[in-house]
A and B are shown apart, each in its own frame.
Chain A
Amino acid sequence: MSGAPILEVRNLKKYFDVRKSLFGEKTAVKAVDGVSFSVMPQESFAVVGESGCGKTTLGKLVLALEKSTEGSVIFDGNDVSKMNTAALKKMRREMQVIFQDPYSSLNPRMTVEDIITEPWIIHGMHKDPAERAKKLAKLLDDCGIAKSYLPRHPHEFSGGQRQRVGIARALSLDPKLVVADEPVSALDVSIQAQILNLLKDLQQERKLAYLFISHDFSVVRHLCTRIAVMYLGRVVETADSETLFNDPQHPYTEALLSAVPVPDPSIEKRRKRILLTGDVPSPLKPPSGCRFHPRCRYMKDSCQTNDQALIAAKPGHEAACEILPFKAARSAAALIAL
C-alpha cells in the first residue's frame, strides 16, 4: 500500500441546525465534527461507532449526498465539494454505495435486470448487446445471482438475495471505492456470513477499496484492515485492525471492545468487562473538553476542559486521549490479551 490515497477526508464537519421549539433558538447538532482519514487503493477501511456517532452522515458526505459544513473530501485527487454536476456524475462511476436495508434500497417496480443494468444506461456504457450480455453474466456469476432471477422483482427475494442484487448494482460500473453502510446488519448470521465472504472475494478479484461503516466489531475484524472508531462526531482512535483489537489505546475503544460478546463460553467466563456508565450524551449538548470524559474511568480534571486532538501512539496508530502517555500505569486487567 503505497502511493496516493484513493480517498482523503480532511477536517470534515457537518452541522445540522435544529430548533428546540417553533420560535426557539437554533442550535447546531455537530453530527460530524472535524474528521480526517485516508483510504488507500484496494484497502478496506472501517468506520465503527455506536448509533448517533455520525458514521452514516460521514458516509453520505463522502458520497456527496450531503453538503459538508467545512472541510474537504478528496477522491482520487479531486475535491468532491468543488465538483459540478457533470464531474460528480463521472466521479460516481468510480465511487459506489451499498446500503444497509436491502428491502428499501431497491426499486420495487423494477426487475432485477433493470436494477443491475440501469447504471450502464445512465452512463451510456456497454451499448453493444453482446458485450452487455457478457458483462452481465460475469457480474451475476461473481455476485452469486442465478440467471433466472433477472426478470423477477425484489419482493420475490429474501434479504440476502436482495443484498446480492444491491452489491451487483454497485459493482456494475467497476468502481474503485465502495462505501458500504452496514451492509450486513439486517441479515441473519448464516446469510451475513455468505455476504461477508462475497464482499471479501469481490474485493480481491476486482481490486476494490471499501469504506465500511458498521457498529459491529466482529464483522469489521473479519473484513477490514484499518479501523477508525468514532464517538460523538469525532474519530477517537485509528489503527490497523490487528493493533486496534490487541492494544486499544483510547478508553472508549477499550470499553467498546470489552462489551462485544464473544461466541465462545470459555472465553466469556474469563473475560473482564468494562461497563460504561450512562448513555451516549446528546450530540446537541456534547460534553466540554474530551467528549468521552463523563463516562471515562481514567478521567482526570484536565479532561473536562482539554479537548484532546488525535496524537500518535505509534506509527499508524493514533488516539485522542490525554492520558495516553500514562498508559503503562493502567491496570493490566485490560481486556483483550488473555
Chain B
Amino acid sequence: MRERTVKAVDGVTYDLHPGKTLAVVGESGSGKSVHALSILRLLPEPPAQVVGGEILFQGQDLLKMDHEQMRKIRGNRIAMIFQEPMTSLNPVLKVGEQIAEAVVLHQGVSQTKAWAKAVDLLKKVGIPHPEERVNDYPHQFSGGMRQRAMIAIALSCEPDVLIADEPTTALDVTIQAQILDLMKQLQSEYKMAIVLITHNIGVVAEMADDVVVMYAGRAVEHASVNDLFKNPKHPYTKGLLGSVPSIYVRKERLEAISGQPPDLSGGFVGCPFEPRCGCARPRCMTDDPPQFHLPDARMSNCWENENESTQHSHRHERTGGKR
C-alpha cells in the first residue's frame, strides 16, 4: 500500500469571544471534527500531524505546550462534549464518579466535596433526583440524560471554552431542543465561548453568532449568522442553504448540489468545489482561490468575491512555527 497524505484540515482561521457561539458547519469528511480534536490535541499522533498554524488560547499557543501544560487546560479551561454520549462515558464507573474525577483532578478538592459538586452539577443540567441518580451507571440513563451528564462533566471546572461536537445529532428533536436550551442557558451563566460543530443548518440558525462553513478541509466562508443566511457569498454555502428543507416553507424543489464531495488524498489544482459549482469559470479549474476578506468581517474562499475583497491571504501563509 502506498502511503498518502490526507489534508483533513487545511487552513482554518477564526476568533472566538467569551459568551459567543461559533458554529462550524460542514458535511461528513469536511474536516470539522478533526479541527476540533486538534484544538485539544486529541488527535492520535502519529498518524495525524498538525503541520502548521497556531491555536491561541488567552494569548498562549496550545500547539507549543507540553503534555503537562496541555492536561491542565484540557477539561479544565477548554472542555469538550461529543456526539455519542454512550461511547464517551465510561460504562463501569458511576456517573457521579466521572463528574467528580474532573473536579478532584483540576480543583484539588476532597472526594466528598467533589461528590457534592457532582450532585449540584447534575441538578444544574436538569437531571431529576440528582442525589439518587448520581449513583447510576451510564446505561441506566436515557440518551438525553447521558448528554446532560456529559455536559455536567464538561462544566465541572467552569471552562472558558466549550467545544461541542455534534452534541445533539444522536438525539430526538424534542430532546435536542432541551439540550440546546440547556447549553444556551449555561452559556449565559458561565460566559463560556462555545464552538458548535454540526451538520444541521437549523441548529446553526438557532445557536450561532458566527459561522464558519467548511468544505474539503477548508474554511470556505466565515460570517455572522445573519449575514450568512441572508446573503451567502460562497457558492457552496448557497448550495447548502438551498438543499435544506424547512418546516416553514414548502419548496417545490430543493436546490441540490450535484455530484459528490471530493477525495481529500489527492490534493487539488484549482478550487476543490469547482466540479460541483454552478458558477465555475475556467480560472477555477487552475487557480486555487485565496481567502478573500470582505467588509463586515466576512471571508469567502471564492474567486467571485475577488472584487469586493479588501485584502486576501493564502491558506499556507503560516503565522506559527511548524511543530
Chain B residues positioned under 8 Å from A241 (CB to CB):
250
Q: How far is the CB of B203 from chain A (nearest CB, A)?
A: 5
Within 8 A of A (CB), among B94-122: none
Q: How far is the CA of A260 from the CA of B246 in the complex (A)?
A: 9
Query: In whole angstroms, what is the CA distance A259 to B255 when docked?
Result: 25
Query: Given A217-B247, A279-B144, is A261 in contact with B206 using a C-beta cutoff of 8 Å?
Result: yes
The answer to the question of A190 belonging to the interface, with a C-beta cut-off of 8 Å to chain B, is yes
Could you tell me which residues of chain A, from 207 to 248, have a CB within 8 Å of some CB in chain B?
215, 217-219, 221-222, 241-242, 245
Asked if A196 is an interface residue, CB under 8 A from chain B, the answer is yes
| B226 proximal to A (CB < 8 A) | yes
Q: Contact mask B290-322 → A, CB, 8 Å, 1/0?
A: 000000000000000000000000000000000
Contacts of B199 in A (CB 8 A): 188-189
Asked if A333 is an interface residue, CB under 8 A from chain B, the answer is no
Report whether B181 and A275 are in contact in the complex, using a CB–CB cutoff of 8 Å.
yes
Is there a chain B Cβ closer than 8 Å to A325's Cβ? no
Number of A-B contacts (CB under 8 A): 136
- With both chains docked as a complex, state the minimum distance between the C-beta of A114 and any C-beta of chain B, in angstroms: 23
Task: Indicate if the CB atoms of A268 and B206 lie closer than 8 Å.
Answer: yes
Residue of B with least CB distance to A279: B142
B154-192 contacts to A, CB under 8 A, are: 172-178, 180-181
Interface segment among B33-41, B65-73, B78-86, B235-243: the answer is B235-243
Name the interface residues of A260-286: CB closer than 8 Å to any CB of B. 260-268, 273, 275-276, 278-280
Chain A residue with Cβ nearest B200 = A261
A273 near B177 (CB under 8 angstroms)?
A: yes
B181 CB to nearest A CB, Å: 6
> Which residues of chain B have C-beta atoms less than 8 A from A242's C-beta?
250
Which chain A residue shows the least CB distance to B25?
A189
Query: Does any Cβ of A come within 8 Å of B254's Cβ?
Result: yes
Sorting the interface of chain B by its residue count into under 10, 10 to 19, 20 to 34 or 35 or more gives: 35 or more
Nearest-neighbor residue (CB-CB) of A241 within chain B:
B250
* B244 neighbours in A (Cβ, 8 Å): 189, 193, 218, 263
Contact A264-B246, Cβ < 8 Å, known A189-B201, A276-B174, A280-B172: yes
Q: Which of B172, B202, B239, B240 has the most CB of A within 10 A?
A: B172
Residues of A contacting B5 with CB < 8 Å? Answer: none
Q: Which residues of A contact B50 (CB under 8 A)?
A: none
Say yes or no for B260: interface residue by CB 8 A criterion: yes
| Contact assessment for B240 and A218 in the assembled complex, using a CB-CB cutoff below 8 Å | no
Residue in contact with A263 in the complex, picked from B144, B175, B180, B201, CB distance below 8 Å: B201
Does A197 sit within 8 A of B, measured CB to CB?
yes
Name the distance in Å between A198's Cβ and chain B's nearest Cβ.
9
Q: Is B225 an interface residue (CB 8 A)?
A: yes
A47 CB within 8 Å of chain B: no
Q: Is A257 an interface residue (CB 8 A)?
A: yes
- Indicate which residue in B176, B226, B255 contacts A266 across the interface (CB closer than 8 Å): B226
Interface contact A218-B229, CB-CB below 8 Å: no
* Interchain nearest-CB distance for B119 vs A (Å): 20
For B255, the chain A residues whose CB sits under 8 A away are 193
Is there a chain B Cβ closer than 8 Å to A160's Cβ?
yes
Are A275 and B241 within 8 A (Cβ)? no
Look across to chain A and name the residue whose beta carbon is closest to the beta carbon of B180.
Answer: A261
Distance in angstroms between the alpha carbons of A275 and B126 in the assembled complex? 13
Q: Shortest Cβ distance from B164 into chain A, in angstroms?
A: 15
Cα–Cα distance between A267 and B251 once the two chains are bound (Å): 17
Cβ A158 vs Cβ B260 within 8 A: yes
| A101 sits at the interface (CB 8 A) | no
- The one of B28, B145, B173, B253 that contacts A259, using a Cβ cutoff of 8 Å: B173
* Contact of A189 with B203 at beta-carbon distance under 8 Å, contacts A194-B256, A215-B173, A259-B176 already known: no
The contact sample of 18 A-B pairs, CB cut-off 8 A, is A51-B172, A158-B260, A188-B28, A190-B239, A191-B27, A193-B242, A193-B243, A193-B256, A218-B202, A218-B244, A219-B245, A262-B202, A264-B205, A264-B248, A265-B206, A266-B229, A275-B178, A278-B128
Other A-B pairs beyond A196-B256, A262-B202, A275-B181, 12, CB < 8 Å: A161-B260, A188-B261, A189-B201, A190-B257, A191-B27, A191-B260, A193-B243, A261-B202, A262-B246, A264-B246, A265-B226, A279-B144
Give me the interface of B with A, judged by CB distance under 8 Å. Answer: 27-28, 128, 142, 144-145, 172-178, 180-181, 199-206, 208, 225-226, 229-230, 239-248, 250-251, 253-258, 260-261
Interface residues of A, Cβ cutoff 8 Å to B: 50-51, 158, 160-161, 188-194, 196-197, 200, 215, 217-219, 221-222, 241-242, 245, 255-268, 273, 275-276, 278-280, 336
